[in-house]
Amino acid sequence: MATSVTDTKSNTAADIFSAINGNSGKKATTSTTADMENRFLTLLMTQIKNQDPLNPMDNAAVTTQLAQLNTVNGIEKLNATLSQLLSGYNEAQGLQAAGIIGKNVMVAGNSLPLAAGKSAFGGASLAAAADKVTLTIKDASGKIVQSKELGAQEAGIMYFSWDGKDDAGNAMKEGNYTFSIAATAGGKKIDATAMEIGTVSAVTRSKDGFILDLGSLGDVAFKDVQQIL
């Protein structure tokens, strides 16, 4: 961190804080709080010794400068504490992310991948209880392959499974399908957010956090996981 204090009359708390955080425009150098205090007090004492006897420094000005120094020190200590807390949080999040490899997670989305001989699973988040919920599944071309009533559902997360067949009972080819959820209560529309379910195959760290590899569903941010199944 750089400290560039050249004139105690012109340096404000903002100036000192800017220097501490390396924003002075000069190359950063190693400095401690004690270092900064010593330099500040040295400059202050020099200023007092060389002051004009006929125009001495105002006591209020000295008190203000000392208060500014204490404020900067307090902010520096607070920043250090927050950095430690953030570091601990990131480590805990990393351990949690690594622990869900191989597990299924639910994230916002409407993809419904179908593998041969297996059922596909999806879900939705309902803003309120619904007395009627309709599931509509479409193929890659946008054609409806199945429309199904799921009955009444409580508010919150709900799940469904698809056996991979169309409305006529014909088995569909494996591939990528999409779905939508429509919900109503007393004839009034209920907000329903489609949720896709994928299996975590890998976890990678990025500058924005941890990224989960969900295979055919692609990559999603760990923070976007709605539920771990």
Q: What is the pLDDT of residue 141?
A: 94
For residue 154, pLDDT beyond 60? yes
Distance CA 181, CA 194 (A): 6
Taking 60 as the threshold, does the pLDDT of residue 127 lie above it?
yes
Per-residue tokens: 165: 């067949």
Q: Where are the domains of the chain?
A: 13-98, 104-228
- Tell me if 203 sits within 8 A of 102, measured CB to CB: no
Higher pLDDT, residue 81 or 27: 81
Token reading at 141: 């071309």
Confidence at residue 210, expressed as pLDDT on a 0 to 100 scale: 85
On average, the pLDDT of the chain sits at 78
Name, of 8-17, 109-118, 146-155, 213-222, the range with top average pLDDT.
Answer: 146-155
Confidence at residue 52, expressed as pLDDT on a 0 to 100 scale: 59
pLDDT confidence of residue 138: 97
Give me the mean pLDDT over the 186-199 stretch. Answer: 95
In this predicted model, what pLDDT tens digit does every residue of 44-75 receive, in sequence order? 667 666 665 556 555 666 667 666 666 766 67
Average pLDDT of the segment spanning 137-149: 95
Question: Rounded to 5 degrees, what angle do the CA atoms 198, 202, 203 make?
Answer: 105
Residues in Cβ contact with 73 at an 8 Å cutoff, skipping those fewer than 6 apart: 33, 36, 37
**Could you tell me which of 194, 195, 176, 192 has the C-alpha nearest to residue 184?**
192
Q: How confident is the model at residue 9 (pLDDT cuts 50, 70, 90)?
A: very low
Q: Which of 93, 122, 129, 121 has its CA nearest to residue 108? A: 122
What pLDDT shows up at residue 90? Answer: 60
* Alpha carbon distance 166, 93 (integer Å): 41
**Predicted TM-score (pTM) of this structure:** 0.58
Residue 29: per-residue pLDDT: 43
Cα–Cα dist 147/132, whole Å: 13
DSSP 27-57: ------HHHHHHHHHHHHHHHHHTSBTTBPP
Q: Please give the CATH topology (third level) of the domain spanning 104-228.
A: Immunoglobulin-like (2.60.40)
Average confidence (pLDDT) over 205-213: 84
| Main-chain phi, psi angles of 46, to 5 degrees | -65, -40
List pLDDT tens digits, range 10-51: 444 445 445 444 454 444 444 566 676 677 667 666 766 666
